[in-house]
Amino acid sequence: MEENQTIEIDLKELLYVLLDKIVIIILCTIIFALAAFTYTKVFIPKTYTASLSMFVKNNHRYDSDDGGQIELSDINASQELVNAYIEILTDESVIDLLAQHMNEKYGDNYMESIFGTDPVSGQINTPALQNCISLSSKNETEVLSVKVTTTNPELSANMCNAMADIAPDILKRVVGAGSVERIGNAKVPTSPSAPSVSKNTAIGAVAGLVVSCGVIILCKLLNNTAESLEKTAAHLNISPLGEIPILKDENGKITKDSRLTLLDTTDFITTEAYKSMLSNLIFTLGAVRSKSFIITSAASGEGKSITAANLAITLARNNTKVLLIDGDMRKPTQHKMFNVKNSKGLSTVLSGITTLDESIQKINDDNLFLMPSGEIPPNPQALLSSKSMEELLEKLNGEYDYIIFDMSPAGIVSDCVSLAKLVPNVVLVAKYGKTRMNALRNLTSSLNFLGVNILGLVVNKVESEKKPYKNYYYSEDVSQ
């Protein structure tokens, strides 16, 4: 039962993927249809089919004096004659004779331009001429149907009539039994029998639809990046904390400023997404004593810094005193987000250059404080694992309800691992459609091996049109 349910979920997900790419699918379908239409109209030559019918007579059947009664054996004999006549009339010697008649009417050069020449004999290509002639029995009766298809409608009709002219003498000489009688003459076709523009266009459209859907599904199945929060978290065996949509302004437009925080004008969905994530995080932190935690990612450019900043803002707005520390002393960004100076901060405090009070700056919100990274030191890893760092944490834990560390990507440098010995709680941030699953697996394995408590996963920069953001916690005080 569970297996069937999983298959159903996967099919729904693939359906959503196809619906999300519906514009691309429609465009591919139209392009393939136009390509098939153009190719059919321009590159495929038109062919014309002329036809006539000949009636096969069994002499015994029509010459007998049995009062006009038809016996089954006579009918079978006539049908067998039809099959024999087909084999005889499609023989190469008969086709050569037909070619001679056509050469007399149209000339060698024209016939060779239509059917080509045999490289050995230099005569008309007999197999090509054979391929354009079709003989068959109509509905398994005594009527022999002759069809000729060429690029010239008049030539098709004349070849049909020529075949009907030479057939009686050849059959009489070879078989010596029965006869054929033409039923009318072949008429010159007024419209081409092939190619079918509508049919080929439809085939092209279907091909475009199948190819586009197949490529999209294949890319989805081969995709090795973090997408669905639930699936990614379950695959890593960690808790899903939340999905954060792409930041938008108050008008719902995607902003090009990657440093836009909740202190600026952001849309409702983004604000509520952080509230929902915060509710899950606080619930998870309830199981541990420490209220300090690290926010990191597997690689750079995945949104860990903006997630840390907005999470700190959201916490501060719920009547809790929050300190955000920019622990990324290699590529600091928090001072840019909050538009403060970076001359004093974590590195200067740990180095004994500045005091703690000088290195902490109060942000607009009453409960939000920021410690920038400070001047970039030559040995950030040594500072983070120093005795000074341990003493600093002891002081800060007594003054703040929550301490958030924005650290360097743990999948690139080991700064986060050094600090994790003192702050063993980590929140992982992954970028939707970019972060590789193997990078996340390697990171979680390393952190688990070191005994680090992974609080959960946040998937960042999710396209809100693809995700139905529901079940938010709308309570004003999420800490309760």
- Coarse DSSP helix, strand, coil percentages of the chain, rounded to the nearest 5 percent: 50, 15, 35
Q: What is the pLDDT of residues 179-188, one digit of tens each?
A: 888 998 999 9
The confidence score (pLDDT) of residue 219 equals: 86
Q: What is the pLDDT of residues 425-445, one digit of tens each?
A: 999 999 988 899 999 999 999
Residue pointed to by tokens 């990191």? 296
Q: What is the pLDDT of residues 314-327, one digit of tens each?
A: 999 888 999 999 99
Q: Which region among 61-70, 246-255, 439-448 has the lowest average model confidence (pLDDT)?
A: 61-70
Q: What share of the chain has pLDDT > 90, as a percent?
A: 51
The confidence score (pLDDT) of residue 444 equals: 92
- Name the average pLDDT for the chain: 85
Query: Which has more confidence, 62 or 97?
Result: 97
> What are the domain boundaries of the chain?
10-43+196-220, 48-183, 226-462
- Per-residue CA distances from 145 to 80, 136, 161, 266 (Å): 15, 5, 12, 78
The confidence score (pLDDT) of residue 472 equals: 37
pLDDT at residue 371 greater than cutoff 70: yes
Calpha distance 326→333 (Å, rounded): 8
Q: Does domain 48-183 bear CATH number 3.40.720.10?
A: no
CB 442 within 8 A of CB 225: no
Q: Which region among 73-77, 142-146, 237-241, 458-462 has the lowest average model confidence (pLDDT)?
A: 73-77
DSSP annotation of 332 reads -
Q: For residue 40, which of 238, 266, 272, 201 has the smallest C-alpha distance?
A: 201
Task: Work out the pLDDT band at 470, boundaries 50, 70, 90.
Answer: very low
pLDDT at residue 226 greater than cutoff 70: yes
Same fold, 48-183 and 226-462: no
Q: What is the pLDDT of residues 114-140, one digit of tens each?
A: 888 888 777 888 889 999 999 999 888
Residue pointed to by tokens 């959503």? 16
226-462: CATH number: 3.40.50.300
Distance of CA 397 to the CA centre of its chain: 49
CB 321 within 8 A of CB 453: no
Task: Work out the pLDDT band at 202, boundaries 50, 70, 90.
Answer: very high
Calpha distance 477→443 (Å, rounded): 33
Q: For residue 167, which of 272, 68, 62, 95 has the smallest C-alpha distance?
A: 95
pLDDT at residue 471 greater than cutoff 50: no
pLDDT at residue 252 greater than cutoff 50: yes
Backbone dihedral region for residue 323 (phi beyond 0: left; psi -120 to 50: alpha; all else: beta):
beta
Residues in the chain: 480
